[in-house]
Structure 1
């Protein structure tokens, strides 16, 4: 990669070790009986506060119902991608393609980490159902908005809610973007990730620990193995080489060729 490009495929030993220690500490805080009680109490309290706000104002309920759909997930993904490929936000023009391909590499690493961690969760019987299926008096958005449920599938329940897969992707994006941003832009990146996690918590698809323990553990471990080693960078370089023909084709399209990621010069 270009020396002026901040996204380099290299070993970052202190960060690699530190992220693993942090991920292990987060997971241990949930497994130890004393602190597990704190997680469970905080999770129940937060769910009752968030879900308890539903069922009173139709507009409020509708907002959380819409943001809990698969369609909303796709729009959030488009926004995340748009910010990543906006040369005025975090990455410079020459970094847009390396950023895109490196993040795709990180997502592949996350997929592997998630599969392995899910197997461990099943093996050690850490799995549990979501609060909406366990807590009496839950306001079910899927029942209140049957048409949205039928068309787009509302994510307000699960028999296997740990870990929070959706949260892990959002947190991985925030870690990657936050590494290269400063000040208020870094705060916005992390703030957006937390904001987009909220619908699952409000609807009751996940407990707090599913996000703050499971999602954080997967994101930290994936970022450690992906970015603090050359792995994601090498994957990104491979994707970049295979996509050369695609960029040439996209540069011929009148609207798309105006995008800096497609025509950087």
Structure 2
């Protein structure tokens, strides 16, 4: 059966504008002094709710300590990647190669947008330290496990906390998958995983909640708009699929790799 191409080489003006309007609204509410104060008050309460049990519950402590180390980010990345390229889940088997290439291109857009936006924020008074640095009674994982910070890159603080880069990647993955998901069950799994994997930075205090639900969402929406609702994804993915076809054909002969959906013939943009 022949499935339609994932990406359409045309503008979707309504969804493109919607992504930008929502992102702009989030930014304006966050900049507004009253809104900023409300977000900060909520985040302080939320941080204590998540952070305080680190002293009282060993399971909570060890769970989020392990999840806050850089090697765990690799595990998360592999889980998200496998769900992205799993044939006949969100994407049909013949669509997974295009989905992978399109998502990588979307990540590149995300990186560019985040870099530009961060440079602007860094030159304003809106940039801030992470919750673990600002809140006096914060429980710091690096104080409890001092050797893990250098050895395993334990992440529990930042001097430039906004926007949440870790969250923006998880959010763009969730948004990208949601655009092409077909069932409520798929969307529940997608967003449950995204929110779960955002938790370590919030529990450890490496980010405030607003770094994620304002900054992360805003950056992800802009990247989604420019990727999926303009001709960019269709044109760039089609070109890269043609260029990389010999490589996929070559690696597709290897015993284990050839079982992957992205190695199957017939992939389309």
Normalized against structure 2, the TM-score is what? 0.94
Q: Does the alignment pair 1:149 with 2:146?
A: no
Preserved CA contact (<8 Å) 2:6 2:99: no
Please name the residue that 1:179 is paired with: 179
Preserved CA contact (<8 Å) 1:11 1:230: yes
Cα offset, 1:188, TM superposition: 1.1
Preserved CA contact (<8 Å) 1:101 1:237: no
Please name the residue that 1:262 is paired with: 263
- Please identify, of 36-45 and 226-235, the stretch whose mean Cα deviation from structure 2 is larger: 226-235
Structure 1: unaligned runs, 5 residues or longer: none
Cα offset, 1:111, TM superposition: 1.1
Cα offset, 1:3, TM superposition: 6.3
Cα offset, 1:34, TM superposition: 1.6
- For the residue of structure 2 that corresponds to 1:170, the secondary structure is helix
- Please identify, of 98-107 and 237-246, the stretch whose mean Cα deviation from structure 2 is larger: 237-246
Q: 2: distance between equivalents of 1:22 and 1:144?
A: 40
Cα offset, 1:264, TM superposition: 4.4
Please name the residue that 1:252 is paired with: 253
Please name the residue that 2:239 is paired with: 238
Cα deviation digits, residues 190-248 of structure 1 (max 9, x gap): 11111111100000000011001111110001111111111133222232222122112
Preserved CA contact (<8 Å) 1:109 1:232: no
Q: 1: distance between equivalents of 2:238 and 2:81?
A: 19
Please show how residues 196-215 of structure 1 align to structure 2 within 5 Å.
Answer: 196-215=197-216
Preserved CA contact (<8 Å) 1:127 1:161: yes
Structure 2: unaligned runs, 5 residues or longer: none
Q: 1: distance between equivalents of 2:125 and 2:37?
A: 17
- Please identify, of 185-194 and 51-60, the stretch whose mean Cα deviation from structure 2 is larger: 51-60
Please name the residue that 1:191 is paired with: 192
Cα offset, 1:260, TM superposition: 1.7
Cα deviation digits, residues 119-150 of structure 1 (max 9, x gap): 11023332100010111111111221234323
Q: 1: distance between equivalents of 2:60 and 2:3?
A: 49
- For the residue of structure 1 that corresponds to 2:263, the secondary structure is coil
Cα offset, 1:151, TM superposition: 2.1
- For the residue of structure 1 that corresponds to 2:55, the secondary structure is coil
Q: 1: distance between equivalents of 2:138 and 2:117?
A: 29
Please name the residue that 2:7 is paired with: 7
- For the residue of structure 1 that corresponds to 2:261, the secondary structure is coil
Aligned length: 264
Cα deviation digits, residues 177-196 of structure 1 (max 9, x gap): 01111211111101111111
- For the residue of structure 1 that corresponds to 2:56, the secondary structure is coil
Preserved CA contact (<8 Å) 2:10 2:230: yes
Please name the residue that 2:93 is paired with: 93
How much is the aligned-residue C-alpha RMSD, in angstroms?
A: 1.5
Preserved CA contact (<8 Å) 2:128 2:161: yes
Q: Does the alignment pair 1:78 with 2:71?
A: no
Cα offset, 1:81, TM superposition: 0.5
Preserved CA contact (<8 Å) 1:131 1:205: yes
Q: 1: distance between equivalents of 2:63 and 2:50?
A: 13
Please name the residue that 1:220 is paired with: 221
Q: 1: distance between equivalents of 2:83 and 2:13?
A: 29
